[in-house]
Amino acid sequence: MMFQSIPREKRNVIVLVLVQATAGAQMPIVFIVGGLAGQSLASNVCWATLPISLIVFGSMTTAPWLSTLMQKFGRRTGFWCGCLGGITGGLIGAYALVIESFLLFLVSGYTTGIYMAANGFLRFAAADSASAEFRPKAISYVMAGGLLAAVIGPQFVKLTHDQFVIPFVGTYLVIIGLNLLAALFVLFLDIPLVTGARTVANGVRSYRELLQQPRIVVAIICGMVSYALMNLMMTATPLAVVGCGFTANNAADVVSLHVLAMFAPAFITGHLIARFGAEKVVASGLVLLSLAGITGLSGISLYNFFGALVLLGVGWNFSFIGATDMLISAHHPHERGRVQGMNDMIVFGCVTIASLSSGTLMNCSGGTAASGWQSVNWAMIPFLSLAAISLLWLALFRPRSGRPAGS
């Protein structure tokens, strides 16, 4: 009864935070384990991170139809589909490790991509029933739910990676339980559908028309760059840490602190957006991402890995949440299925390329883990330049398109 007495916009945020904390814990797990397990199964180490790339590719191909599904049948249905994808991916992944099948492990990765696509829509769902004033804070609070995920995921890796004769089987079984719990929380989500009458009355712009809107284009570019670079470095980190002489537990600690850095700032990011504007927050995030690359290039001590990944996490938080708020403020509510699906397809498409490049750069450029790590960090420069130029272009392009913020 007490829960029901909370206003809907805040009640939904609480539910989404719980979903983020449970289902979201799968993300650090698969990023820690995917490359290491893939390295043990693949016949060529250059393909070690291909399972992670398949997760992101699965997200890219899932996002459009999943967004349409949510537009027609509601967020709850879409998030249940995501939990089902996570459960199926966990089952297939565990079996693939038992029979030592790299091909089946790739299938597990693709299926897990359904989970990742759904998890990406949590930030949009936070804004659906929120007022204009509360919207950036709602997005930030839901992203902050990843703090628990950052703790839970890596700790489960430490506890379960060697509990069975075959490494990481227990970890994939934990993934199943996390998604079952998240599916239970989704039951309490209460986000109304956009009525069909309003959709017909207002009309939905074509993809071409949407991509002619400067604010939408820049939001997509900044979201794409921030997520792709985060994925590029995070995917390579476990391989780099272990390859430079440290342990798998050290790698888990580095990724854990990184994920904490990804979500901890979310408690203030919404307030910063409300005060200074999304564009300035995105720009700050890009500066931090640049500093992450510089730190990564400056050495291969454990402190360098920790420092680079913390900067990477905070930079991603500012730039990605800021880009999300920019996107939401540039389209009508009845267009969210089309716009958000298009956005995440493009974002995850770029992230797929980054993930594929990560394994290639780490294992097939220079011959050592140290030189591979250097290549990963150098690769950030052109993408950061693209995002910075697009933001500057938007600042000079005064006419704003799409719906006004908060409408």
Is residue 1 a part of any domain in this protein?
Answer: no
Q: Which residues span the domain enclosing 295?
A: 8-191+208-396
Which DSSP helix (H) or strand (E) runs through 364?
Answer: none
Is residue 201 a part of any domain in this protein?
Answer: no
Is 281 within 8 Å of 321 (Cβ atoms)? yes
Is residue 13 a part of any domain in this protein?
Answer: yes
E-assigned strand segments in 175-254: none
The token pair that represents 168 in the structure block: 């990481």
pLDDT confidence band for 329 (50 / 70 / 90): confident
Which range is least confidently modeled, 28-37, 144-153, 165-174, 398-407? Answer: 398-407
CATH code for position 107: 1.20.1250.20
Is residue 2 a part of any domain in this protein?
Answer: no
Instruction: Report which of 60, 176, 157, 35 is spatially closest to residue 113, judged by C-alpha positions.
Output: 60
Match 């966990």 to its residue by tokens: 90
201-257 confidence digits (pLDDT tens): 456 677 788 888 888 999 999 999 998 999 889 888 888 898 888 887 888 789 878
Is residue 152 a part of any domain in this protein?
Answer: yes
- C-alpha R_g of the chain: 20
Is residue 199 a part of any domain in this protein?
Answer: no
Number of domains composing the chain: 1
14-64 confidence digits (pLDDT tens): 999 999 989 888 888 887 788 778 777 877 766 777 888 888 888 888 988
Is residue 3 a part of any domain in this protein?
Answer: no
* Number of helical (H) and strand (E) elements in the chain, helices listed first: 19, 0
Listed in sequence order, the residues at least 6 apart from 400 whose beta carbon sits closer than 8 Å to its beta carbon are: 214, 215
The token pair that represents 343 in the structure block: 């956005």
Measured torsion, CA atoms of residues 364, 369, 371, 377, in degrees rounded to the nearest 10: 90
| Residue 203 pLDDT | 61
Which DSSP helix (H) or strand (E) runs through 17?
Answer: helix 8-22
Is residue 112 a part of any domain in this protein?
Answer: yes
325/233 Cα distance (integer angstroms): 24
Q: At what angle do helices 302-328 and 135-144 cross, to 10 degrees?
A: 150
| Residue 199 pLDDT | 44
pTM here?
Answer: 0.72
